[in-house]
Amino acid sequence: MLSISRHAKTLASTTTTQKRTYVDVYMKWKKDHYFDNIEHILRSPQLKSVVSLKNCIAQNPNGCIPISSVSKKTLQFDVSTKIAKFLRQFPSIFEEFVGPEYNLPWFRLTPEAAELDKEERIVYQNNAEDLRDRLRKLILMSKDKVLPLSIVQGMKWYLGLPDDYLKFPEMNLDSSFRFVDMEDGVKGLAVICNGEEVLSVLQKNAIKKRGGCSEIEFPLFPAKGCRLRVKIEDWLKEFQKLPYVSPYDDYSSLDPSSDVAEKRVVGFLHELLCLFVDHSAERKKLLCLKKYFGLPQKVHKAFERHPQIFYLSMKNKTCTAILREPYRDKASVETHPVLAVRKKYIQLMKNSESILKNRRKIYGFSNEEIVEKDLDLDFEG
């Protein structure tokens, strides 16, 4: 259910009259089974931890690690349980063996995981320019064309960049990138603009379909059985007719409380999710972007006010914002080159579930009872 309250506000501008005609939209959340069960989105948080631990093992010169080297790094790997227990959940990815000293548990990659790790690195090499361009676009959308390294680090997983991407700038970045000092001693990554116009996905699609991008409307994908009230339908039609401000354009002249500014925010979120691997992100992870992208304090409300553009999934005990368009019109947004290899990791994770299930059938105990060792407790305490 959506409700509406109207307020009018006019601001004289050098380009257009900016009005605020729609402020409060309330949506009764409507569950969508399809979006709630997109597997690579549903498993993404756990996959992130799996891939990080996989990288830790693969980058070790010996190709294996003792549990003691990672047991106290649950925060670093974003794991809510003991590291050893987490690794043992995925026997098709991590192989456990007894180490050379003190009978400690060690872990290495299974042959299947090692082969997939090689394939992943080839994907990164073959798509280096694509990945670099996604990072460049993220920075170019920022207010000053510069972002703190902490923000870039936080967006790496979503952009599909490898864990060590910024450790090798000479290999991964080109001459358009600069490491800079920001205020308060913060280190940042900037992009030097060469004057070339950057088009958003919406602009590119408009050019393909109509030969120009002077008037841009958001593709809408209503949920089944959801009907809007007449007042809201009327507002939405007017909203679609408003000038489109590209996320790469200067927005300093916009009245932050105007409908045009709201359309600019929705356009930014649309473009941002288009850059991401699975066109989704935890909503809370996007809140740190407000300062650097000129977003309103309640930017999260944009997802709720535009349910025909975004879907909010409440799975995994969090709120995940998903862009509807790539899943309802697959030709509208390019598939991220890293998505296919992530799906293969997910398949290995699913294979692990089958392995553990068979073990329980054979031994008649839970997997944890089979493999738990007192030594693990000593080194993970």
Indicate whether 22 pLDDT > 70: no
- Entry pTM: 0.89
Per cent of the chain over pLDDT 90 is: 73
The residues, any chain, with a CB within 8 Å of residue 178's CB and separated by 6 or more, are 189, 190, 191, 192
pLDDT tens digit sequence for 244-293: 999 999 999 999 989 999 999 999 999 999 999 999 999 999 999 999 99
Q: Over 70: is that where the pLDDT of 193 sits?
A: yes
Give the helix/strand (H/E) hosting 264: helix 259-275
- Higher pLDDT: 211 or 54? It is 54
More confident residue, 29 or 100: 100
Give the model's pLDDT for residue 12: 37
**pLDDT for position 227:** 72
Confidence of residue 188 (pLDDT cuts 50, 70, 90): very high
Section 111-117 average pLDDT = 98
Handedness of CA 335, 340, 345, 348 (dihedral sign): positive
| pLDDT band at 108; cut points 50, 70, 90 | very high
**Quick one: CA torsion of 121, 124, 126, 129, rounded to 10 degrees?**
-160
Q: How confident is the model at residue 331, as a pLDDT?
A: 93
Residues 204-227 pLDDT 10s = 999 998 877 778 999 999 887 677
